[in-house]
Amino acid sequence: MNPTATHPAAQFDIQRVRADFPILNELVHGKPLIYLDNAATSQKPNPVIKALDEYYRRYNSNIHRGVHALAERATEAYESSRRKIARYLNAPNQHEIIFTRGTTESINLVASSYATSVLKPGDEVLITWLEHHSNIVPWQIACEKTGAVLKVVPINERGEVEPDQFEAMLSERTKIVAFAHISNALGTINPVREFTEMAHRAGAVVIIDGAQAAPHMRVDVQAIGCDFYALSGHKMFGPTGIGVLWGRTSLLDKMPPYQGGGDMIQSVTFEKTVYNDLPYKFEAGTPHIAGGIGLGAAVDYLDALDAEGIMAHEHDLTRYATEQLSQIEGLRLIGTAANKVSVLSFTLEGIHPYDMAPVLDHEGVAVRTGHHCAQPVMDRYQIPATVRASIAFYNTRQDIDALVAALAKVQRMFSGL
Amino acid sequence: MTHQTDVTIEELIENFEFLGDWEQRFTYLLDLGKKLPPMPPEDCNEQTRVHGCQATVYLKERVINNGDTRIEFDATADAFLVNGLIAILRIIYNAKTPQQILDTDIQGILKQLDLEEHLSPTRRNGLHSMVKRIQSLAAAHQ
């Protein structure tokens, strides 16, 4: 925990990586941008911006049904993204990669299509106290429709889901278990493999909200062993409005379509419609073609980076930030899990997070304040909101120092109140 | 509890103009919030809660019948800055008749105060929620 100790992150060429992200040179209120809101959305590297630009500039066209050169090129680029993502997640089959608008839609797809067709009254859906609203509300809706019951595994004071408590809440009634890989509000990394094994032993199907994990680590869906994995492109350096649901073929095949429309059918008559094969069965209408292609570019970009170097760098930054913030009088860190990364959620005694936000903003520091779409987490700690600083691999110790300096200014400005 | 504010809206606009930079205005706003009279805890309940603000805000009207009907507002928030905004709304609206409240060009005044520029969109929504509550209370007493 010594911030001056040498660490593997020292080998990670941070300046070269930062040069790939043009937005990091922006000035905010006349000050250099210190972007620490990565859990909300990440910034985009040049190759992603270029891929979007090139698609619209050179081969914009609808996919899958065109017979001309541009349509073929667009289809190939879009489908090649699917292949890249399948490989990146170590999915056994590329047709298991369903493009969605993001994690929220991916979870809604499973909750709407899978959950409502299998759940019966008295069945249980198990989630954890750490979940983002998008991994709570779709299950509430599915339970309301089916008469199933939503159960919630509590967290401890550090913000961890304890494996024995998790296991204790599983039973033969548990049909679906949904949990975050990494908590967006606290940064806690859940033991996803262990939880998946436990849930499978109880006979439940497992869906993991990977929105916060994909930007920070290599995700291997086969190694985890889960049944569905959801992620958002915009949080992993890709465009907004595109995300992925990975699911097992055996489950996806049995699921009814989520939305009806073009591209998801083989044949339509007024009497009967035959649905298309995977993945198209779940991709009704013209998709976000540019987004899919941009996400492929983001995956290529991540693939070329040193994944271990990134993780070491982010863990080092998280440790450094934890130490620096802990030295601030009156600062309370919310979420101190033994295994956490990238998120520093905190309150300052006597100063509402919303009062801190404008001061931090005018110092060029971009953070998030609020309940982070995780109101139950805030209730657990009996606080209305936190300030959340969240790190990406392009952040530096100087960024953390700037945050600490801005917080000192907050304290000066509010000291007389 | 004092219902008098010692600053008029004209003076407020002038003060904001005089305070050049953001930091001075922000501090002034906090100062206004600090002087806000406290709201009795029993008045802070679900009925008086203003949703749509990121901070927790309670707002209650008091009707004064002295020949004509005038309305005064008490409000409180758990954030200093929001208390500052409440103080400004009190200066703008307090002790007016329901019709005067509804006729007030609130957007124009806020624009003159140049507040909008200093508020994030979410905070603007919060301010708007308080204004809407005040307007609907005024309409109910018309």
Annotated domain spans of chain A: 8-43+306-411, 49-304
Lowest mean pLDDT among A56-60, A254-258, B5-9, B18-22: B5-9
Q: Sign of torsion, CA B123 B126 B132 B135?
A: negative
- What residues of chain B lie within 8 A of the CB of A357, using their CB? 120
pLDDT in tens, A189-205: 999 999 999 999 999 99
Residue B16 has pLDDT above 90, yes or no: no
- Per-residue pLDDT tens over the stretch A380-391: 999 989 999 999
| CA–CA distance, A246 with A85 (Å, rounded to integer) | 10
For residue B54, the model assigns a pLDDT of 77
Higher pLDDT, A160 or B125: A160
Chain A hits for B34, Cβ within 8 Å: 417
CB contact under 8 A, A362 and B82: no
Contact check, Cβ <8 Å, B26/A369: no
Nearest to A264 by CA among A255, A251, A277: A277
User: Average pLDDT of B7-21?
Assistant: 86
What domains sit in chain B, N to C, each tagged with a CATH number?
9-140 (3.90.1010.10)
Interface test with A, best of B44, B76, B81 (most A CBs within 10 A): B81
Kindly indicate whether the ipTM for this predicted assembly is greater than 0.85, answering yes or no.
Answer: no
pLDDT tens track for A19-45: 999 999 999 999 999 999 999 999 999
Query: Domain A49-304 belongs to what topology?
Result: Aspartate Aminotransferase; domain 2 (3.40.640)
A143 is catalytic: no
Which of B36, B39, B50, B53 is catalytic? The answer is B53
Answer yes or no: do B30 and A417 touch at CB < 8 A.
yes
A362 and B120 within 8 Å at the Cβ level: the answer is no
Closest residue to B55, CB basis, from A29, A354, A358: A354
Specify the pLDDT at position A6.
44
Q: Give residue B119's pLDDT.
A: 72
Say yes or no: B18 contacts chain A, CB-CB below 8 A: no
Tokens 């969109």: give the residue.
Answer: B121
The CATH number of A8-43+306-411 is 3.90.1150.10
Question: Do the Cβ atoms of A384 and B56 come within 8 Å?
Answer: yes
Please give the pLDDT value at position B142.
Answer: 84
pLDDT of residue A11: 59
> How does residue A74 score in pLDDT terms, banded at 50, 70 and 90?
very high
Tell whether B129 lies on the interface with A, counting CB pairs under 8 A.
Answer: no
Lowest mean pLDDT: which of A61-70, A127-136, A142-151, A358-367? A61-70
Tokens of A138: 């779709």
Low-confidence winner among A78-82, A197-201, B5-9, B135-139 (lowest mean pLDDT): B5-9
**Contacting residues of A for B82, CB less than 8 Å apart:** 354
Instruction: Give the rounded percent of residues in chain A with a pLDDT score beyond 90.
Output: 88
Rounded to a whole number, what is the distance in Å from the CA of B45 to chain A's nearest CA? 16
Could you tell me if A361 and B117 are in contact, meaning their C-beta atoms sit under 8 angstroms apart? no
pLDDT on residue B55 = 85
B120 touches chain A (CB under 8 A): yes
